Structure 1
Amino acid sequence: MLSRRTISSVAIALIVAQLVVRGWLAATGNFYWDDLVLIGRASSNPILSWDYLGHSHDGHFMPAAFLVAGVSTVVAPVDWLIPAVTLVALQALASLAVWRMIRVLAPRAGIGALAALAFYLFTPMTVPAFAWWAAALNSLPLQAAMAWIVADAVLLVRSRGRRPDARLIVIRSAVVFVVALAFFEKSLFILPVAFAAATLSARTAVRTPPTGTAPGAESDRRDVPAADSALIRAFTGARTLWVVLSGVFVVWLIVFFSVSDATAGEHSISQTLRLVWRSINNAVVPSFAGGPWEWERWVPSPPMGFAPVWMIVLGWLVIAALVVWAVRTRHGAAAVVACAAGYVVVAQLPVMWNRSSANTALELAQTMRYLPDTAVVITIAIALIVGSGARQHPAGRHVGERSERGQTGVAVVALVGAFAVASAMVSLASFSSSWRDDPTGDYLANAKQALARNQDHTMFDQALPLEVLLPVAYPNNQISHTFGRLRERPDFGVTTDRLMVLDNSGHMVEGAVTPARTIEPGSGACDRPEIDGPTELSLSGPLLQWRWTIAVGYCANMPGQIEMALDDGPAQRVDVQAGLHVVYVQLEGRGRGISVRPLTPDLALHTGEGRVGEVADARLVG
């Protein structure tokens, strides 16, 4: 029998080991996809404005996550250090909260409690959402809050609400609930999970420990066989907690549906069911064997786990063996298993419904980024099972025999646990290799250096490379959004005298304008400029309504300003210099010509050939 001090020491060692591994994963990672969307919004909005905090991001209402991302972007724009530290700090908070919960749910369990903790700490189900900053800002507060509130609810129910700190427990749980909801609306699931865990725990009553006893300390037990009695005790023992959390639940649900556009788009019931099944069979089940071991990605998509058939079969066998063992040896295990299985299915339905358009690939379910809360619920189930009373041994079994079987059980659990952890480390290494196979980090680093070295000339805005962020994220796929908070960078504008662009690797190169249309040269010359009043530059063909880039050479008799415009578009003031130069201007509109009007008195100029089209790397334009 392991002592409580030994159990605590091993638990802390396991948590430290997890944080070391996760720290390495965070340190070798970088920004990805939604991270850049968060940065882009923080660079183009005041971070304390409702337009920023209350924005519906892909159907999510997450003001606290936006706030953290905004503060990080303002303090250190496009710098991975603060997000990496955020990941490890939030993971430490979640892991400690889960361990506290396990000790409350299973105060007398030894190796079983450590097995529950090891499952949570090392299961592959929590890895993808950790490595991805935007996903972690949703999922890690949810994990920590779920564990904390479940433990608080069980403490209240066991004491029948008569703890001297009952009011404090209710207040802190309500605050934790609100904070978790502010990070992720899926935290609404915390309330039903906490009530179910409290009800299942109440099937075995625990007398309130003496005042001053640490939460989770050993207490006397007595069986309460009636399930309905457990339900009543769970409700009455924490009545105030349920009322307060239910009020928060309803209010937040109203706010969520008034702000979010989560129900927008096309959805399919059949596609939802296929996605849910793929998530269970190809993601949840292999994780019980420490898999999947193989992760692949199709940039710019996130890594997807591909478990071989043998690992899926092994996962089902492990689950079956655990369920049979639990049902045969532990009181109330069947109800715990049923509730956990129900959550695994039900929790996937909303998110898969939201992603269930006909064009959604089933491999989406294999990214496993929607499963961290499921891992916490399975951890709750394991803790409840190992913390419940054992069924009576058959008559005539000797104490020595029971002791020997117990020692054998500890050895088997330790051996299986070691294998599962080792398998999970193989999975994590494969995931890390796939996660690093992404051009975003190198592009951002190169771009930051290039922008800092070229601050003297205004740059046109441009899209990030397709392998970094697709146009569906517009306008947050524009470099003015991604790098808008940088202190050392050129200004972004719509007119410049030197066209520079970032190439696909983030390096600054000479730009050019594609010849969608050409501009005919003026009839004059540098010594007899033809433009001294409103004039139209003729194009080689008509332009559709669009944002066009114009490149035109000119000779001006003096420095000054002119005004340029397309039909149905706003006019743009353009600075010109005395002598022979080229100017680049971005105009919105359409038509067959470009209107030009000198604004500076006595300014006259002659225009040469020019182009109208899109900005591109000069090396790619003939």
Structure 2
Amino acid sequence: MTTAAMTTARTTAARRVGALALALIMVQLVVRAVLVIWGNFYWDDLILMGRASTYPIPSWDFLGYSHDGHFMPAAFLVAGLTTALAPVQWWLPALTLVVLQAVASLAVWRMIRILAPRAGGWALAALCFYLFVPMTVSAYVWWAAGLNTLPMQAAMAVVVGNAVALVRDRPDPVRSRRLLIGAVAAFVVGLLFFEKSLFILPVAFVAAVLALRSRSSARWDDEADYRSSPLSQAFLRARPLWLILGGVFVVWAAVFLATSTATAGVHSIGQTAHLVWRSINNAIVPSFTGGPWVWERWTPSPPMGFPSVWMIVLGWVVLAAAIAITVRRRRGVALIWFFALLYAVAAQIPVMWNRSSGNTALELAQTMRYLPDTALVLAIALALIAAAPSIGAHTAGPSQPDRRMAVAAAVAGVAFLVSAVTATMSFGQSWRDDPTGDYLRTARASLASMDGKTMFDQPVPLEVLLPVAYPNNMISHVFGRLRERPGFGKVTDELKVLNPEGRLVAGAVSPVRTFEPSRGSCAKPGIDDLTRLPLSGPLIDWQWTVGFSYCADRAGTVELRLEGGDPVEVPVRSGLHAAYVQLDGHGTELRIRPVTPGLRLHTGDGRVGAPVMAEAAP
């Protein structure tokens, strides 16, 4: 075959591989689109929405907030803009997830083609692993987590690809400058979304060193370059890149440590070790077989994977076999596996340390939401292995053993793909079993019917968001950006509340304490100055809701207060009506005083307690 014919054949093969890669990415995006269609907002999503409803989006109070120990201004910015454009509507967050996944998948394929330019089918295998392994699913469908991890994945792919191209291909100055700028920009963007993107720098440097260890994919320009180690070559060939990335790393780490609350709380070394082992044995290892197939959800927790024992055992067998076969057949692979598995373990330690305490359930590690970057690092390892030279390449005999290996790998790849999609769909079914979406849709319509009126604030149901998220679990925060909604205040003449399904129902005040009618009557109101209404018992210092009927001889304003609390002015109307007021304070009496000159009123039986559904009130 002539050189021209060989070139044409290689070009055709590369186009076929590229077309297959794009087809795999499209399949992944279809599967991921189905997942977000099944999904909805969950937990931290509501906290992001609540803060976007409370603070100006461009403010540091919003963008620089340390959310659960994370420093992620760009993620907050996207969440804030999304909330402002389509408040409490899932379609736009879902679209952001699909778009970010498309960007990440394309970046990963570009990286794989740089790492293994002639690997063909083996490069597709590395891509397939990244696209469909269940380790990436849990953090994808959860909007708040996806805003962290998807930009990090895209950034890691860009930085690793550019770094390897710089140190291995020795590009011309113009391309070198583009690769340098692109890598730095991607690193900064990744950090803006997720502080864990700091891991990108060591991953990129190690990948560059490992890529240079293969003599067949390095260019030796002179004898001195030939004798220098891959470590020194990797640094010297891309010294401006490493110095700039190192400077950004140090500055960003300092900012993170100064703003983050990640290390707050009680931690346990023993619990950290248990969580890391559970993450490896019950999450990472079964992923090598495309598992787990079984997911369980204990609302309000996210789904947790429960792989069968046989799947865990098979996962260890697959990993051991892959290591043994590749180490025997390709040069330098042992070190690639070492660093990949080292990352898989080491990357879990700080995360699990921050989550460790005596009360942390080990099932936390089985949610897999901390593993997307591990999946990508393993894909990088597979690409580097695919590019590594064969140990017996110069004495290769008949090609039949290689064809058998290719057929076996193809069968294993199809089995993995089927298993992984099965696990993904199983996760999706578990993920959609959540009351949050239905509650938000119903509540949004209910609040729109109260547009222009006043409601008391109340927490969302426990199944949607627990009180530990206060004040972001209050409806004034979750629904604060809605254009059609009631005002949230401390005084209303019509008490309405949302029931656990989000429907608007009549409200009442629970009778924690009661008080008797005031002196006089509707015909002859007795309150014309400060009056103290004794309660049936003492109140602790809290926010209390007071409900009572009254009749006033004219329209005006009265003032109510509890001991130790600020007074609240309440508008009253002439005639017989009801009023509901929220007061802070404590004590054994309710104080009421007309503010409007000449106003007189009479109050009937009253209650002091909390807003509840009328049908549930005694």
Do the structures match in fold with TM over 0.5? yes
Cα deviations by residue, 1:152-171 (Å, 9 ceiling, x for unpaired): 00011013475432222222
In structure 2, the partner of 1:585 is 581
In structure 1, the partner of 2:380 is 380
In structure 2, the partner of 1:308 is 308
Give the Cα–Cα distance (whole angstroms) in 1 for the partners of residues 344 and 31 of structure 2: 26
In structure 2, the partner of 1:429 is 425
2:617 to 613, 618, 621: 621
Paired residues in the alignment total 608
Q: Specify the code of the residue in structure 2 equivalent to 1:170.
A: L
Unaligned runs of 5+ in 1: 209-218
- Aligned in 2, Cα 1:91/1:527: closer, same or farther, shift over 3 Å? same
1:445 lines up with 2:441 in the alignment? yes
Q: Specify the code of the residue in structure 2 equivalent to 1:360.
A: T
For 1:553-572, list aligned pairs within 5 A: 553-572=549-568
Give the Cα–Cα distance (whole angstroms) in 2 for the partners of residues 282 and 248 of structure 1: 35
In structure 1, the partner of 2:269 is 269
Give the Cα–Cα distance (whole angstroms) in 1 for the partners of residues 221 and 295 of structure 2: 46
In structure 2, the partner of 1:235 is 235
For residue 224 of structure 1, report the CA deviation from its aligned partner. Answer: 12
Give RMSD over aligned pairs: 1.8
Give the Cα–Cα distance (whole angstroms) in 2 for the partners of residues 597 and 86 of structure 1: 54
Q: Specify the code of the residue in structure 2 equivalent to 1:49.
A: S
For residue 455 of structure 1, report the CA deviation from its aligned partner. Answer: 2.0
1:616 match: secondary structure: strand
In structure 2, the partner of 1:605 is 601
In structure 1, the partner of 2:403 is 407
For residue 223 of structure 1, report the CA deviation from its aligned partner. Answer: 13
Q: Specify the code of the residue in structure 2 equivalent to 1:581.
A: H
For residue 394 of structure 1, report the CA deviation from its aligned partner. Answer: 8.8
In structure 1, the partner of 2:504 is 508
Give the Cα–Cα distance (whole angstroms) in 2 for the partners of residues 182 and 83 of structure 1: 18
The answer as to whether partners of 2:216 and 2:389 remain within 8 angstroms in 1 is no
Cα deviations by residue, 1:198-248 (Å, 9 ceiling, x for unpaired): 00001024678xxxxxxxxxx999999999711111111111000000000
1:96 lines up with 2:106 in the alignment? yes
In structure 2, the partner of 1:82 is 92
In structure 2, the partner of 1:490 is 486
1:458 to 449, 454, 458: 454
1:340 lines up with 2:340 in the alignment? yes
1:292 match: secondary structure: coil
Give the Cα–Cα distance (whole angstroms) in 2 for the partners of residues 549 and 393 of structure 1: 82
- Aligned in 2, Cα 1:118/1:65: closer, same or farther, shift over 3 Å? same
Give the Cα–Cα distance (whole angstroms) in 2 for the partners of residues 103 and 394 of structure 1: 24
Give the Cα–Cα distance (whole angstroms) in 1 for the partners of residues 205 and 614 of structure 2: 63
For residue 393 of structure 1, report the CA deviation from its aligned partner. Answer: 5.3
The answer as to whether partners of 1:207 and 1:220 remain within 8 angstroms in 2 is no
In structure 1, the partner of 2:366 is 366
Cα deviations by residue, 1:76-122 (Å, 9 ceiling, x for unpaired): 10000110100000000000000001000001101100000000000
2:407 match: secondary structure: helix
The answer as to whether partners of 1:78 and 1:444 remain within 8 angstroms in 2 is yes
Q: Specify the code of the residue in structure 1 equivalent to 2:321.
A: A
For residue 310 of structure 1, report the CA deviation from its aligned partner. Answer: 0.3
The answer as to whether partners of 2:527 and 2:600 remain within 8 angstroms in 1 is yes
Q: Specify the code of the residue in structure 2 equivalent to 1:175.
A: A
1:79 match: secondary structure: coil
In structure 2, the partner of 1:32 is 42
**Higher mean Cα deviation, 174-183 or 477-486?**
174-183
1:140 lines up with 2:136 in the alignment? no
Give the Cα–Cα distance (whole angstroms) in 1 for the partners of residues 494 and 100 of structure 2: 45
- Aligned in 2, Cα 1:392/1:335: closer, same or farther, shift over 3 Å? same
The answer as to whether partners of 1:447 and 1:506 remain within 8 angstroms in 2 is yes
Give the Cα–Cα distance (whole angstroms) in 1 for the partners of residues 568 and 386 of structure 2: 72
For residue 519 of structure 1, report the CA deviation from its aligned partner. Answer: 1.2
For residue 196 of structure 1, report the CA deviation from its aligned partner. Answer: 0.4
The answer as to whether partners of 1:205 and 1:221 remain within 8 angstroms in 2 is no
Q: Specify the code of the residue in structure 2 equivalent to 1:65.
A: A
Q: Specify the code of the residue in structure 1 equivalent to 2:319.
A: I
Counting aligned pairs with the same residue, the percent is 58
The answer as to whether partners of 1:271 and 1:356 remain within 8 angstroms in 2 is yes
The answer as to whether partners of 1:518 and 1:539 remain within 8 angstroms in 2 is yes
Give the Cα–Cα distance (whole angstroms) in 1 for the partners of residues 93 and 87 of structure 2: 11
In structure 1, the partner of 2:168 is 158
The answer as to whether partners of 1:551 and 1:611 remain within 8 angstroms in 2 is yes
For residue 466 of structure 1, report the CA deviation from its aligned partner. Answer: 0.2
The answer as to whether partners of 1:510 and 1:617 remain within 8 angstroms in 2 is yes
For 1:116-131, list aligned pairs within 5 A: 116-131=126-141
Give the Cα–Cα distance (whole angstroms) in 1 for the partners of residues 281 and 572 of structure 2: 65
Give the Cα–Cα distance (whole angstroms) in 2 for the partners of residues 136 and 502 of structure 1: 30
For residue 28 of structure 1, report the CA deviation from its aligned partner. Answer: 1.6
Give the Cα–Cα distance (whole angstroms) in 2 for the partners of residues 23 and 207 of structure 1: 38
1:177 to 159, 182, 187: 187
